[in-house]
Amino acid sequence: MVKKLLVALFLSLLVVGCGNQTSSDNDFFDNYKNTLIGDNSSVGAIIDSLHWESELTSFSLETNAQPYGLNLYFNGVEQPQTMIENAAYLFTLIGNLDYVVYDTSDALLQIFRQDLETQLNTSFEPITQRSVLEDILNQHDLVDIYNNLPKG
């Protein structure tokens, strides 16, 4: 009897916990969707929310003239899949972001919104939920997309 009660309690907490995470993810998207590249604190919050393999040492915004960009500086190496995934999140949430530059200890990579949208066969602008973006990303080989992006 006690064992069944503990199992029921555990399952209830699991369901409640998962529900809160989804709500939190959607709240994050609601709060930061349509952020503009000039909003330094919101851009910083978005960057801080993403997963990185190495230490992100700083970032800078290119806002003087179009195209608008974001430079990310790392003390270490970032995996191609992570760079593509995080660029997709940045483009989805920052409405006027045209490109992202990854400056890592082993590479310098510039990803343009239009190129990534073409590779993913989607537009980031209408995406309003994390789960929708994750579904799009999960349908593609992100390393293959990385390898097919124009290199400068």
Inter-residue contact 73 to 63 (CB < 8 Å):
no
Task: Quick: pLDDT tens for 100-114.
Answer: 999 998 889 999 999
pLDDT of residue 22: 56
- C-alpha torsion sign, points 141, 35, 54, 149: positive
- Residue boundaries of the structural domains of the chain: 33-148
CA atoms within 13 A on the CB side of 122: 17
> What type of residue is 8?
A
Model confidence at 53, pLDDT cuts 50, 70, 90, reads very high
